Amino acid sequence: MLPVVAIVGRPNVGKSSILNALLGRRLAIVDDMAGVTRDRVSVEVPLGGRWVELVDTGGIGIVDTQSLEEHVEAQIAQALEMADLLLFVTDAREGCTPMDREIARALRGLDTPIVLVANKSESRATQAAAAEFSELGFDPVPVSALERLGLHFLGDLVAEMLPGEPDDEDYKPDDPTLKVAIMGRVNVGKSTFLNQLAGSERAIVSEVPGTTRDTVDLRVEKDGRTILVTDTAGLKRESSVQDSVEFYAQRRAQHAIARAEVCLLLLDCTDDITRGDQKIAAMIEDAVRPVVIVANKWDLAQGQMEMSEYGEYVAKKMPGLHFAPIVFVTAKEGRNVLAALDTAQALHKQSVQRVGTPEINRALQRAMTDFRPPVRVKGNPKIFYGTQTDVNPPTLMLFVNDPRSFRSGYRRFLENRLREVLPFKEIPMRLVFRRRRSIFGKNRKPGRPGKPGRGRR
């Protein structure tokens, strides 16, 4: 296991900025509003030539606007317990505060190495002011996450102060064999689902809508494979987004769809499917991502309806995902949670398959025989042949006489018919219609040379 380096401190001193700066990209949400971070945000990163698990935490002593202080404190306590080293972050602009002194007293009681980081030390004045933090009993390290100053020295110091020797100096984190995003509107049980996979409270679970803000990544080892599971903020209508924090949370959730290879769309089966659910389904459909529909809270709905009834209801409300498998779970009790992950692996296996051109063309021929495309004024639509050009999603290139002749209804028919006979029964496909160019050049046909021009007499 990698050594754990936890970033702690009072609210609004730049803990998330430190994580993003050391990582080299934006992962945690950064905002001037105090108390943005609630869950533990962790990432594997090399510091001073040594790989560590870097963990961002909520602000110690935060007064949460939604009364989630106890949950945030529990996440901080878990991070402190796991940590092999602490980055105690302070604000050099504000100077040493009573809260900094209180946190320092608490941290000194731990048997964990501590590096005191005086963040926001951009100028000579703030760098000089950083020296006053030595009264806390630690040598302050002036850095600026915003200007990326002092980070290299900080990384070297962390590597030097970590207890023990690195297990493997050539270590690099394994690339996950599968990336899964947990999607859904607020309060459908996404964080509860993630916690069951983690076997602990990895993300805060609360009845308060919008509890999750940052995307929370979890690596799950299953059947000898590493699966990266990402919990996301509950997606809302744009008109319901109240501030910049919610805006960035929504954008990270949307980015998670683009990054994922399979999506888990959680629905609350005790509630009606809403326009919010349908919007998320449309986003997944537009991204052409395989999706497992996870019907959560089935223990409460069981007896009121049959699984087949609910499946028909979902297909009616989300016709664009009618082919997606449904797994009925009770996330609170962990029932069928792993089955949903197994189904995600099966969908990914389908999405990376390749099919030979002869098989595709036989399927196209049968489809064209059963239902020919409607004839347009300019002539009969023709498909000459098709071939697979890509995987994940499976992409079929169809060479035709005129792509404009194939309307959306017939394209959907072709996709559904091909899905029935090709090994892509539960995943989306991408059909690309391309005009086949004549080998005789533009607007030229064999045996019909161009009209000769008039010569001089």
Mean pLDDT of the chain: 81
Cβ contact 138:104 at 8 Å: yes
Give the Cα separation of 43 and 52 in Å (integer). 8
Using alpha carbons, select from 26, 22, 25, 17 the residue that is nearest to residue 5. 22
pLDDT one-digit tens code per residue, 153-197: 999 999 999 987 765 555 666 678 899 999 988 888 888 898 888
DSSP designation for 149: B
DSSP designation for 168: -
Contacts of 288 (CB under 8 A, 6+ apart): 393, 428, 429, 430
In single-letter form, the type of residue at position 70 comes to E
Same fold across 178-351 and 357-435: no
pLDDT one-digit tens code per residue, 38-92: 456 778 888 888 888 888 887 776 444 343 346 557 677 887 888 899 999 999 9
Cβ contact 290:428 at 8 Å: yes
Give the Cα separation of 2 and 167 in Å (integer). 8
Under CATH, domain 178-351 is a member of which superfamily?
A: P-loop containing nucleotide triphosphate hydrolases (3.40.50.300)
In single-letter form, the type of residue at position 199 comes to G
- Write the CATH number of the domain with boundaries 357-435: 3.30.300.20
What pLDDT does residue 66 have? 40
Using alpha carbons, select from 171, 173, 172, 177 the residue that is nearest to residue 226. 177
Per-residue pLDDT for the chain (457 aa), expressed as one digit of tens each?
788 999 998 888 888 889 888 988 765 444 344 444 445 677 888 888 888 888 888 777 644 434 334 655 767 788 788 889 999 999 999 899 998 998 898 888 888 999 999 999 988 888 888 888 999 999 999 999 888 899 999 999 999 999 877 655 556 666 788 999 999 888 888 888 988 887 765 443 334 334 444 567 778 888 888 888 888 766 655 544 444 444 555 666 677 888 899 999 999 999 999 988 998 899 899 999 999 999 999 999 887 889 999 999 999 999 999 999 999 999 989 999 999 999 999 999 999 999 999 999 999 999 988 888 877 656 688 899 999 999 999 999 999 988 888 888 999 999 999 999 999 999 999 999 999 875 555 544 444 544 444 444 4
Cβ contact 130:154 at 8 Å: no
Name residue, tokens 């994580």. 19
Where exactly are the structural domains of the chain?
4-161, 178-351, 357-435
Give the Cα separation of 421 and 94 in Å (integer). 67
- Which tokens belong to 378? 């300019």
- Domain 4-161 class, CATH top level: alpha beta
Contacts of 260 (CB under 8 A, 6+ apart): 179, 180, 181, 230, 289
pLDDT one-digit tens code per residue, 205-236: 334 334 444 567 778 888 888 888 888 766 65
What pLDDT does residue 58 have? 75
Cα dihedral value 238, 243, 247, 252, nearest 10: -140
Please list, residue by residue across 129-140, b when 16 or more beta carbons sit within 10 angstroms of its beta carbon and e when fewer do. bbeebeebebeb
Share of residues in the chain with pLDDT > 70 (%): 78
3-state class (DSSP) for residue 341:
helix
**How far, CA to CA in Å, does 297 sit from each of 150, 207, 314, 395, 430?**
49, 14, 15, 35, 33
- Which tokens belong to 372? 């020919």
Give the Cα separation of 401 and 433 in Å (integer). 9
Give the Cα separation of 382 and 400 in Å (integer). 6
